[in-house]
Amino acid sequence: MSQSDNSFEPNVIDDEMLQKAVEEQWPEDIRKLAKVEGINFKDVMELQLRFRNILQIDNLWQFENLTKLQLDNNIIEKIEALESLIHLVWLDLSFNNIEVIEGLDTLVKLQDLSLYNNRISKIEHMDTLQELQIFSIGKNNLTTLENVVYLRRFKNLHTLNLTGNPFCDEEQYMLFVVAHLPGLVYLDFKLVSDTTREVAISNYHYLTDLLEHEEAQALAQLEEKQAQQKELEYHKTAFVEYLNGSFLFDSLYAEDTEAAKLAYLPGVDDLLKDFVSVCENLFNYCLKEHEKREAEVSDFYEGLHEVLTANQEEGRRIILDFENQNKMRLDEIHHASSHDTAESMRAEYNEDILQLSETLMTLEMQMVDQLEVRLRLIPVKPPILDAGTFHFAVACRDLENRHHEKLLEISISALEKSLKNELDEELPDDVREFLVDKNTIVNMVNKSHDIHLLKISMRECDILLNMYRWEASVKEKALQNEIDRNRNRIKEIFQYIDDLQEQLDNTQIPELTE
Protein backbone atom coordinates (compact mmCIF):
# COMPACT_ATOMS: atom_id res chain seq x y z
CA MET A 1 0.00 0.00 0.00
CA SER A 2 2.99 2.31 0.53
CA GLN A 3 4.79 4.62 -1.87
CA SER A 4 2.15 6.11 -4.18
CA ASP A 5 -1.13 4.44 -3.28
CA ASN A 6 -3.74 7.21 -3.29
CA SER A 7 -6.81 5.02 -3.72
CA PHE A 8 -7.94 5.70 -0.14
CA GLU A 9 -8.07 8.71 2.12
CA PRO A 10 -5.34 8.73 4.82
CA ASN A 11 -6.47 7.41 8.20
CA VAL A 12 -5.57 8.43 11.72
CA ILE A 13 -5.00 5.98 14.57
CA ASP A 14 -7.99 6.66 16.84
CA ASP A 15 -9.62 4.64 19.62
CA GLU A 16 -12.16 3.14 17.22
CA MET A 17 -9.42 1.78 14.94
CA LEU A 18 -7.46 0.42 17.89
CA GLN A 19 -10.53 -1.22 19.43
CA LYS A 20 -11.39 -2.88 16.14
CA ALA A 21 -7.78 -4.02 15.53
CA VAL A 22 -7.53 -5.65 18.96
CA GLU A 23 -10.90 -7.41 18.57
CA GLU A 24 -10.02 -8.73 15.12
CA GLN A 25 -6.93 -10.56 16.36
CA TRP A 26 -8.81 -12.39 19.14
CA PRO A 27 -10.89 -15.60 18.89
CA GLU A 28 -14.67 -15.19 18.66
CA ASP A 29 -15.43 -16.19 22.27
CA ILE A 30 -12.85 -13.77 23.72
CA ARG A 31 -14.09 -11.06 21.35
CA LYS A 32 -17.64 -11.36 22.68
CA LEU A 33 -16.42 -11.23 26.26
CA ALA A 34 -14.31 -8.15 25.48
CA LYS A 35 -17.33 -6.34 24.06
CA VAL A 36 -19.14 -6.89 27.33
CA GLU A 37 -16.32 -6.16 29.76
CA GLY A 38 -14.32 -3.72 27.62
CA ILE A 39 -10.68 -3.86 26.49
CA ASN A 40 -7.81 -2.66 28.62
CA PHE A 41 -5.11 -1.70 26.12
CA LYS A 42 -2.46 -2.14 28.83
CA ASP A 43 -3.05 -5.91 28.65
CA VAL A 44 -2.49 -6.13 24.89
CA MET A 45 0.88 -7.69 23.97
CA GLU A 46 0.59 -7.75 20.16
CA LEU A 47 -1.07 -5.29 17.77
CA GLN A 48 -1.64 -5.46 14.01
CA LEU A 49 -2.35 -2.21 12.16
CA ARG A 50 -1.52 -3.37 8.64
CA PHE A 51 -3.14 -2.17 5.38
CA ARG A 52 -5.08 0.67 7.03
CA ASN A 53 -3.75 3.62 5.01
CA ILE A 54 -2.27 5.15 8.18
CA LEU A 55 -0.38 8.39 7.48
CA GLN A 56 0.83 9.22 11.00
CA ILE A 57 1.70 7.09 14.04
CA ASP A 58 -0.24 8.31 17.07
CA ASN A 59 -2.33 7.33 20.10
CA LEU A 60 -0.33 4.20 21.00
CA TRP A 61 0.75 5.38 24.48
CA GLN A 62 -1.94 3.22 26.10
CA PHE A 63 -0.24 0.01 24.92
CA GLU A 64 2.54 0.24 27.49
CA ASN A 65 3.15 -3.54 27.62
CA LEU A 66 3.15 -4.11 23.87
CA THR A 67 5.92 -6.43 22.61
CA LYS A 68 4.98 -6.80 18.94
CA LEU A 69 3.70 -4.06 16.61
CA GLN A 70 2.89 -4.37 12.90
CA LEU A 71 2.49 -1.08 11.03
CA ASP A 72 3.52 -2.36 7.61
CA ASN A 73 1.75 -1.58 4.34
CA ASN A 74 0.55 1.90 5.22
CA ILE A 75 1.61 5.39 4.05
CA ILE A 76 3.55 6.43 7.18
CA GLU A 77 6.10 9.17 6.51
CA LYS A 78 7.77 9.53 9.91
CA ILE A 79 8.73 7.22 12.80
CA GLU A 80 7.25 8.91 15.88
CA ALA A 81 5.06 8.48 18.99
CA LEU A 82 6.65 5.15 19.93
CA GLU A 83 8.56 6.37 23.01
CA SER A 84 6.14 4.79 25.52
CA LEU A 85 6.43 1.30 23.98
CA ILE A 86 9.55 0.44 25.98
CA HIS A 87 8.83 -3.31 26.00
CA LEU A 88 8.64 -3.60 22.22
CA VAL A 89 10.67 -6.53 20.88
CA TRP A 90 9.34 -6.78 17.32
CA LEU A 91 8.52 -3.80 15.04
CA ASP A 92 7.46 -3.93 11.40
CA LEU A 93 7.37 -0.61 9.49
CA SER A 94 7.94 -2.08 6.04
CA PHE A 95 6.15 -0.84 2.94
CA ASN A 96 5.70 2.76 4.03
CA ASN A 97 7.07 6.16 2.95
CA ILE A 98 9.66 6.71 5.70
CA GLU A 99 12.72 8.76 4.71
CA VAL A 100 14.67 9.04 8.00
CA ILE A 101 15.39 6.54 10.77
CA GLU A 102 14.42 8.29 14.01
CA GLY A 103 12.18 8.03 17.07
CA LEU A 104 13.54 4.66 18.25
CA ASP A 105 15.70 5.79 21.18
CA THR A 106 13.51 4.32 23.96
CA LEU A 107 12.98 0.93 22.30
CA VAL A 108 16.03 -0.59 23.99
CA LYS A 109 14.54 -4.12 24.01
CA LEU A 110 13.94 -4.21 20.27
CA GLN A 111 15.30 -7.40 18.67
CA ASP A 112 13.58 -7.51 15.27
CA LEU A 113 13.16 -4.38 13.12
CA SER A 114 11.87 -4.19 9.56
CA LEU A 115 12.12 -1.01 7.52
CA TYR A 116 11.92 -2.84 4.20
CA ASN A 117 10.59 -0.92 1.16
CA ASN A 118 10.77 2.68 2.34
CA ARG A 119 12.73 5.75 1.18
CA ILE A 120 15.64 5.69 3.62
CA SER A 121 19.04 6.88 2.36
CA LYS A 122 21.12 6.55 5.54
CA ILE A 123 21.34 4.09 8.44
CA GLU A 124 21.48 6.24 11.58
CA HIS A 125 19.92 7.12 14.97
CA MET A 126 19.81 3.51 16.20
CA ASP A 127 22.57 3.60 18.84
CA THR A 128 20.31 2.51 21.73
CA LEU A 129 19.08 -0.66 20.00
CA GLN A 130 21.85 -2.84 21.42
CA GLU A 131 19.57 -5.92 21.56
CA LEU A 132 18.93 -5.85 17.80
CA GLN A 133 19.27 -9.32 16.22
CA ILE A 134 17.29 -9.11 12.97
CA PHE A 135 17.26 -6.04 10.71
CA SER A 136 15.58 -5.68 7.34
CA ILE A 137 16.21 -2.49 5.38
CA GLY A 138 16.10 -3.81 1.85
CA LYS A 139 14.56 -1.91 -1.07
CA ASN A 140 15.44 1.56 0.20
CA ASN A 141 17.76 4.27 -1.17
CA LEU A 142 21.08 3.23 0.40
CA THR A 143 23.80 4.14 -2.09
CA THR A 144 27.08 3.88 -0.13
CA LEU A 145 28.47 0.78 1.56
CA GLU A 146 29.68 2.95 4.46
CA ASN A 147 26.14 2.56 5.82
CA VAL A 148 27.04 -1.03 6.66
CA VAL A 149 29.88 0.08 8.94
CA TYR A 150 27.31 1.73 11.23
CA LEU A 151 25.84 -1.72 11.94
CA ARG A 152 29.08 -2.95 13.58
CA ARG A 153 27.85 -1.55 16.92
CA PHE A 154 25.12 -4.21 17.09
CA LYS A 155 27.00 -7.17 18.53
CA ASN A 156 23.90 -9.42 18.53
CA LEU A 157 22.94 -8.81 14.89
CA HIS A 158 22.87 -12.14 13.05
CA THR A 159 20.31 -11.64 10.28
CA LEU A 160 20.39 -8.75 7.80
CA ASN A 161 18.44 -7.97 4.65
CA LEU A 162 19.77 -5.26 2.30
CA THR A 163 18.43 -6.51 -1.04
CA GLY A 164 17.10 -3.95 -3.48
CA ASN A 165 19.31 -1.05 -2.41
CA PRO A 166 21.46 0.68 -5.06
CA PHE A 167 24.73 -0.38 -3.38
CA CYS A 168 23.82 -4.05 -3.82
CA ASP A 169 24.86 -3.72 -7.47
CA GLU A 170 28.48 -3.07 -6.51
CA GLU A 171 30.80 -5.97 -7.36
CA GLN A 172 32.25 -6.36 -3.85
CA TYR A 173 28.94 -5.76 -2.02
CA MET A 174 28.59 -9.14 -0.32
CA LEU A 175 32.26 -9.47 0.65
CA PHE A 176 32.29 -5.92 2.07
CA VAL A 177 29.22 -6.57 4.22
CA VAL A 178 30.41 -9.95 5.51
CA ALA A 179 33.90 -8.60 6.28
CA HIS A 180 32.56 -5.67 8.28
CA LEU A 181 29.89 -7.67 10.11
CA PRO A 182 31.73 -10.82 11.26
CA GLY A 183 28.84 -12.02 13.44
CA LEU A 184 26.39 -12.17 10.53
CA VAL A 185 24.80 -15.60 9.95
CA TYR A 186 22.22 -14.73 7.29
CA LEU A 187 22.55 -12.02 4.62
CA ASP A 188 19.74 -11.32 2.15
CA PHE A 189 17.91 -14.54 3.11
CA LYS A 190 21.00 -16.72 2.52
CA LEU A 191 23.33 -18.44 4.95
CA VAL A 192 26.79 -16.86 4.96
CA SER A 193 29.20 -19.68 4.05
CA ASP A 194 32.57 -20.20 5.70
CA THR A 195 34.24 -19.76 2.31
CA THR A 196 32.58 -16.40 1.75
CA ARG A 197 33.57 -15.29 5.23
CA GLU A 198 37.22 -16.30 4.73
CA VAL A 199 37.48 -14.49 1.38
CA ALA A 200 35.77 -11.39 2.81
CA ILE A 201 38.13 -11.20 5.78
CA SER A 202 41.14 -11.71 3.53
CA ASN A 203 40.07 -9.00 1.10
CA TYR A 204 39.15 -6.35 3.66
CA HIS A 205 41.33 -7.06 6.70
CA TYR A 206 43.27 -3.82 6.12
CA LEU A 207 40.03 -1.88 6.62
CA THR A 208 38.54 -3.97 9.40
CA ASP A 209 41.84 -4.00 11.35
CA LEU A 210 41.85 -0.21 11.30
CA LEU A 211 38.18 -0.11 12.35
CA GLU A 212 38.81 -2.52 15.21
CA HIS A 213 41.69 -0.35 16.41
CA GLU A 214 39.53 2.79 16.27
CA GLU A 215 36.66 1.00 18.01
CA ALA A 216 38.98 -0.23 20.74
CA GLN A 217 40.25 3.31 21.28
CA ALA A 218 36.69 4.66 21.38
CA LEU A 219 35.68 1.93 23.83
CA ALA A 220 38.66 2.70 26.06
CA GLN A 221 37.77 6.40 26.02
CA LEU A 222 34.16 5.59 26.83
CA GLU A 223 35.14 3.30 29.70
CA GLU A 224 37.51 5.95 31.04
CA LYS A 225 34.76 8.57 30.85
CA GLN A 226 32.31 6.23 32.60
CA ALA A 227 34.90 5.48 35.29
CA GLN A 228 35.46 9.19 35.81
CA GLN A 229 31.73 9.78 36.03
CA LYS A 230 31.36 6.91 38.50
CA GLU A 231 34.20 8.32 40.58
CA LEU A 232 32.60 11.77 40.49
CA GLU A 233 29.27 10.33 41.66
CA TYR A 234 31.09 8.65 44.54
CA HIS A 235 32.79 11.93 45.42
CA LYS A 236 29.38 13.61 45.41
CA THR A 237 28.08 11.10 47.95
CA ALA A 238 31.02 12.09 50.16
CA PHE A 239 30.36 15.81 49.44
CA VAL A 240 33.91 16.38 48.14
CA GLU A 241 33.36 16.63 44.38
CA TYR A 242 36.06 18.67 42.62
CA LEU A 243 38.13 19.11 45.79
CA ASN A 244 40.92 16.76 44.72
CA GLY A 245 42.87 19.29 42.69
CA SER A 246 42.97 22.90 41.61
CA PHE A 247 39.30 23.16 40.64
CA LEU A 248 38.33 25.38 43.57
CA PHE A 249 41.25 27.73 42.96
CA ASP A 250 40.54 27.81 39.22
CA SER A 251 36.85 28.47 39.86
CA LEU A 252 37.75 31.59 41.85
CA TYR A 253 38.91 33.14 38.60
CA ALA A 254 36.26 31.61 36.32
CA GLU A 255 34.14 34.75 36.37
CA ASP A 256 36.99 37.09 37.39
CA THR A 257 38.55 37.36 33.95
CA GLU A 258 40.42 40.59 34.54
CA ALA A 259 42.20 39.39 37.68
CA ALA A 260 42.88 36.05 35.98
CA LYS A 261 45.27 37.86 33.66
CA LEU A 262 47.49 38.63 36.65
CA ALA A 263 48.32 34.90 36.78
CA TYR A 264 50.96 35.67 34.14
CA LEU A 265 52.92 37.73 36.66
CA PRO A 266 56.02 36.00 38.03
CA GLY A 267 55.45 34.26 41.37
CA VAL A 268 51.63 33.95 41.11
CA ASP A 269 51.75 30.25 40.12
CA ASP A 270 53.29 29.34 43.47
CA LEU A 271 50.15 30.58 45.27
CA LEU A 272 48.14 27.72 43.75
CA LYS A 273 50.01 25.02 45.66
CA ASP A 274 48.70 25.99 49.11
CA PHE A 275 45.08 26.00 47.92
CA VAL A 276 45.42 22.55 46.33
CA SER A 277 47.04 21.18 49.49
CA VAL A 278 44.16 22.34 51.73
CA CYS A 279 41.53 20.99 49.34
CA GLU A 280 43.22 17.61 48.99
CA ASN A 281 43.60 17.25 52.76
CA LEU A 282 39.87 17.83 53.19
CA PHE A 283 39.13 15.55 50.23
CA ASN A 284 41.07 12.60 51.67
CA TYR A 285 39.72 13.12 55.19
CA CYS A 286 36.11 13.29 54.04
CA LEU A 287 36.45 10.14 51.90
CA LYS A 288 37.60 8.23 54.98
CA GLU A 289 34.78 9.71 57.04
CA HIS A 290 32.31 8.80 54.28
CA GLU A 291 33.44 5.17 54.43
CA LYS A 292 32.97 5.19 58.22
CA ARG A 293 29.53 6.74 57.88
CA GLU A 294 28.47 4.22 55.25
CA ALA A 295 29.65 1.39 57.51
CA GLU A 296 27.69 2.85 60.44
CA VAL A 297 24.52 3.14 58.39
CA SER A 298 25.02 -0.41 57.12
CA ASP A 299 25.44 -1.66 60.69
CA PHE A 300 22.27 0.20 61.66
CA TYR A 301 20.21 -1.52 58.96
CA GLU A 302 21.78 -4.88 59.78
CA GLY A 303 20.78 -4.47 63.43
CA LEU A 304 17.32 -3.36 62.32
CA HIS A 305 17.00 -6.47 60.19
CA GLU A 306 17.94 -8.70 63.12
CA VAL A 307 15.27 -7.11 65.34
CA LEU A 308 12.64 -7.44 62.61
CA THR A 309 13.58 -11.05 61.95
CA ALA A 310 13.28 -11.92 65.64
CA ASN A 311 9.86 -10.24 65.78
CA GLN A 312 8.66 -12.07 62.67
CA GLU A 313 9.81 -15.40 64.04
CA GLU A 314 7.97 -14.74 67.29
CA GLY A 315 4.83 -13.88 65.34
CA ARG A 316 5.10 -17.08 63.31
CA ARG A 317 5.62 -19.09 66.52
CA ILE A 318 2.47 -17.61 68.09
CA ILE A 319 0.40 -18.41 64.99
CA LEU A 320 1.84 -21.92 64.72
CA ASP A 321 1.04 -22.64 68.39
CA PHE A 322 -2.49 -21.38 67.87
CA GLU A 323 -3.02 -23.52 64.77
CA ASN A 324 -1.57 -26.63 66.42
CA GLN A 325 -3.81 -26.19 69.45
CA ASN A 326 -6.93 -25.50 67.41
CA LYS A 327 -6.59 -27.57 64.23
CA MET A 328 -9.49 -29.84 65.29
CA ARG A 329 -11.75 -27.09 66.68
CA LEU A 330 -13.82 -26.51 63.54
CA ASP A 331 -14.40 -30.21 63.09
CA GLU A 332 -15.44 -30.54 66.73
CA ILE A 333 -17.87 -27.64 66.38
CA HIS A 334 -19.34 -29.18 63.24
CA HIS A 335 -19.89 -32.55 64.98
CA ALA A 336 -21.08 -31.15 68.32
CA SER A 337 -23.80 -33.15 70.06
CA SER A 338 -26.29 -30.28 69.95
CA HIS A 339 -26.88 -26.80 68.58
CA ASP A 340 -26.34 -25.15 71.97
CA THR A 341 -23.07 -27.00 72.50
CA ALA A 342 -21.88 -25.95 69.06
CA GLU A 343 -22.81 -22.30 69.69
CA SER A 344 -20.94 -22.38 73.00
CA MET A 345 -17.88 -23.90 71.33
CA ARG A 346 -18.09 -21.34 68.50
CA ALA A 347 -18.22 -18.43 70.95
CA GLU A 348 -15.24 -19.84 72.85
CA TYR A 349 -13.24 -20.26 69.65
CA ASN A 350 -14.16 -16.74 68.57
CA GLU A 351 -12.78 -15.44 71.87
CA ASP A 352 -9.55 -17.33 71.25
CA ILE A 353 -9.31 -15.74 67.79
CA LEU A 354 -9.79 -12.27 69.27
CA GLN A 355 -7.16 -13.05 71.88
CA LEU A 356 -4.77 -14.12 69.10
CA SER A 357 -5.45 -10.84 67.29
CA GLU A 358 -4.70 -8.87 70.43
CA THR A 359 -1.48 -10.83 71.02
CA LEU A 360 -0.26 -10.25 67.47
CA MET A 361 -1.13 -6.54 67.57
CA THR A 362 0.63 -6.16 70.92
CA LEU A 363 3.72 -7.79 69.44
CA GLU A 364 3.58 -5.38 66.49
CA MET A 365 3.20 -2.35 68.78
CA GLN A 366 6.26 -3.52 70.73
CA MET A 367 8.13 -3.71 67.43
CA VAL A 368 7.02 -0.17 66.54
CA ASP A 369 8.28 1.14 69.91
CA GLN A 370 11.66 -0.58 69.45
CA LEU A 371 12.08 0.76 65.94
CA GLU A 372 11.08 4.26 66.99
CA VAL A 373 13.95 4.26 69.49
CA ARG A 374 16.36 2.89 66.88
CA LEU A 375 15.30 5.46 64.27
CA ARG A 376 16.22 8.25 66.65
CA LEU A 377 19.71 6.76 66.88
CA ILE A 378 20.49 6.67 63.15
CA PRO A 379 24.23 7.50 62.85
CA VAL A 380 24.07 10.38 60.40
CA LYS A 381 26.71 12.79 61.73
CA PRO A 382 28.09 14.41 58.54
CA PRO A 383 31.89 14.60 58.42
CA ILE A 384 31.99 18.29 57.62
CA LEU A 385 30.40 19.03 60.98
CA ASP A 386 33.39 17.46 62.68
CA ALA A 387 35.74 20.11 64.11
CA GLY A 388 38.62 18.78 62.01
CA THR A 389 36.85 19.43 58.71
CA PHE A 390 34.82 22.47 59.64
CA HIS A 391 38.07 24.46 59.48
CA PHE A 392 38.12 23.96 55.71
CA ALA A 393 36.36 27.25 54.97
CA VAL A 394 38.44 29.06 57.59
CA ALA A 395 41.64 27.67 56.08
CA CYS A 396 40.54 28.68 52.58
CA ARG A 397 39.70 32.19 53.72
CA ASP A 398 43.08 32.50 55.44
CA LEU A 399 44.77 31.31 52.27
CA GLU A 400 42.75 33.74 50.19
CA ASN A 401 43.74 36.59 52.51
CA ARG A 402 47.40 35.65 52.18
CA HIS A 403 46.94 35.14 48.45
CA HIS A 404 45.40 38.60 48.21
CA GLU A 405 48.28 40.20 50.10
CA LYS A 406 50.88 38.33 48.06
CA LEU A 407 49.13 39.04 44.76
CA LEU A 408 48.91 42.72 45.63
CA GLU A 409 52.60 42.73 46.53
CA ILE A 410 53.57 40.94 43.29
CA SER A 411 51.35 43.22 41.18
CA ILE A 412 52.71 46.45 42.66
CA SER A 413 56.27 45.17 42.28
CA ALA A 414 55.54 44.32 38.64
CA LEU A 415 54.04 47.77 38.14
CA GLU A 416 57.15 49.47 39.54
CA LYS A 417 59.43 47.35 37.36
CA SER A 418 57.25 47.99 34.32
CA LEU A 419 57.41 51.73 34.82
CA LYS A 420 61.20 51.46 35.02
CA ASN A 421 61.33 49.02 32.07
CA GLU A 422 62.97 46.46 34.33
CA LEU A 423 60.55 43.54 33.80
CA ASP A 424 62.51 40.45 32.77
CA GLU A 425 59.47 38.43 31.64
CA GLU A 426 57.59 38.99 28.42
CA LEU A 427 53.95 39.67 29.38
CA PRO A 428 50.90 39.65 27.08
CA ASP A 429 49.69 43.08 26.01
CA ASP A 430 46.35 42.72 27.83
CA VAL A 431 48.30 42.15 31.10
CA ARG A 432 50.55 45.16 30.51
CA GLU A 433 47.42 47.28 30.11
CA PHE A 434 46.76 46.92 33.85
CA LEU A 435 50.28 47.95 34.79
CA VAL A 436 49.44 51.63 34.50
CA ASP A 437 49.08 53.00 38.01
CA LYS A 438 48.83 51.77 41.57
CA ASN A 439 45.13 52.60 42.03
CA THR A 440 44.14 50.49 39.04
CA ILE A 441 46.09 47.52 40.38
CA VAL A 442 44.83 47.89 43.96
CA ASN A 443 41.17 48.23 42.88
CA MET A 444 41.40 45.16 40.64
CA VAL A 445 43.06 42.96 43.27
CA ASN A 446 40.62 44.12 46.01
CA LYS A 447 37.62 43.44 43.78
CA SER A 448 39.02 40.02 42.96
CA HIS A 449 39.52 39.33 46.66
CA ASP A 450 35.86 40.07 47.44
CA ILE A 451 34.72 37.75 44.63
CA HIS A 452 36.95 34.95 45.91
CA LEU A 453 35.71 35.21 49.50
CA LEU A 454 32.13 35.07 48.24
CA LYS A 455 32.86 31.95 46.19
CA ILE A 456 34.52 30.23 49.17
CA SER A 457 31.45 31.00 51.30
CA MET A 458 29.16 29.66 48.59
CA ARG A 459 31.17 26.43 48.33
CA GLU A 460 30.99 26.05 52.11
CA CYS A 461 27.21 26.55 52.01
CA ASP A 462 26.84 24.03 49.19
CA ILE A 463 28.73 21.39 51.17
CA LEU A 464 26.72 22.01 54.34
CA LEU A 465 23.43 22.04 52.44
CA ASN A 466 24.23 18.73 50.74
CA MET A 467 25.15 17.26 54.12
CA TYR A 468 21.86 18.24 55.69
CA ARG A 469 19.93 16.97 52.66
CA TRP A 470 21.70 13.63 52.92
CA GLU A 471 20.94 13.37 56.65
CA ALA A 472 17.27 14.19 56.02
CA SER A 473 17.03 11.65 53.18
CA VAL A 474 18.52 8.84 55.30
CA LYS A 475 16.07 9.50 58.12
CA GLU A 476 13.15 9.93 55.74
CA LYS A 477 13.92 6.67 53.94
CA ALA A 478 14.25 4.73 57.21
CA LEU A 479 11.01 6.24 58.53
CA GLN A 480 9.09 5.54 55.31
CA ASN A 481 10.34 1.96 55.26
CA GLU A 482 9.04 1.51 58.81
CA ILE A 483 5.67 3.10 57.98
CA ASP A 484 5.27 0.77 54.98
CA ARG A 485 6.35 -2.26 56.99
CA ASN A 486 3.96 -1.46 59.83
CA ARG A 487 1.06 -0.86 57.45
CA ASN A 488 1.66 -4.15 55.63
CA ARG A 489 2.04 -6.08 58.87
CA ILE A 490 -1.25 -4.78 60.27
CA LYS A 491 -2.96 -5.72 56.99
CA GLU A 492 -1.50 -9.23 57.29
CA ILE A 493 -2.78 -9.61 60.84
CA PHE A 494 -6.26 -8.34 59.96
CA GLN A 495 -6.42 -10.58 56.89
CA TYR A 496 -5.34 -13.64 58.88
CA ILE A 497 -7.90 -12.97 61.64
CA ASP A 498 -10.63 -12.33 59.05
CA ASP A 499 -9.82 -15.66 57.38
CA LEU A 500 -10.09 -17.50 60.73
CA GLN A 501 -13.41 -15.87 61.54
CA GLU A 502 -14.74 -16.55 58.04
CA GLN A 503 -13.86 -20.25 58.44
CA LEU A 504 -15.62 -20.24 61.79
CA ASP A 505 -18.74 -18.51 60.42
CA ASN A 506 -18.92 -20.97 57.50
CA THR A 507 -18.71 -24.02 59.75
CA GLN A 508 -22.03 -25.80 59.81
CA ILE A 509 -23.45 -26.72 63.21
CA PRO A 510 -26.37 -28.96 64.27
CA GLU A 511 -29.78 -27.41 63.74
CA LEU A 512 -31.71 -26.04 66.66
CA THR A 513 -34.31 -28.59 67.82
CA GLU A 514 -37.71 -27.77 69.37
Q: Could you tell me the domains of the chain? A: 11-221 (3.80.10.10), 249-506 (no CATH)
Residue 410's pLDDT is 81
Q: Does residue 61 surpass a pLDDT of 60? A: yes
Q: What percent of the chain has pLDDT over 90?
A: 49
- Tens digit of each residue's pLDDT (9 = 90 or more) over 97-134: 999 999 999 999 999 999 999 999 999 999 999 999 99
Q: Confidence class of residue 274 from pLDDT cuts 50, 70 and 90?
A: confident
Residue 388's pLDDT is 47
Please state the rounded mean pLDDT for residues 272-284: 77
Residue 380's pLDDT is 58
Bridge pairing between strands 46-48 and 54-56: unpaired
- Tens digit of each residue's pLDDT (9 = 90 or more) over 294-328: 888 888 888 888 989 999 999 999 999 998 988 88
Residue 384's pLDDT is 47
Residue 196's pLDDT is 96
Q: Does residue 157 surpass a pLDDT of 90? A: yes
User: Long-range contacts made by residues 233-239, C-beta under 8 angstroms, separation at least 24?
Assistant: 235/283, 235/287, 236/466, 237/290, 237/470, 238/286, 238/287, 238/289, 238/290, 238/383, 239/286, 239/290, 239/382, 239/383, 239/384, 239/463, 239/466, 239/467, 239/470
Q: Does residue 229 surpass a pLDDT of 50? A: yes
Q: How far apart are CA 174 and CA 342, in angstroms?
A: 87
Q: Does residue 391 surpass a pLDDT of 80? A: no
Look over the chain and give the mean of its residue pLDDT values, rounded to a whole number. 86
Q: Confidence class of residue 450 from pLDDT cuts 50, 70 and 90?
A: confident
Q: Does residue 281 surpass a pLDDT of 90? A: no
* Orientation of helix 271-326 relative to helix 438-505, angle to 10°: 10
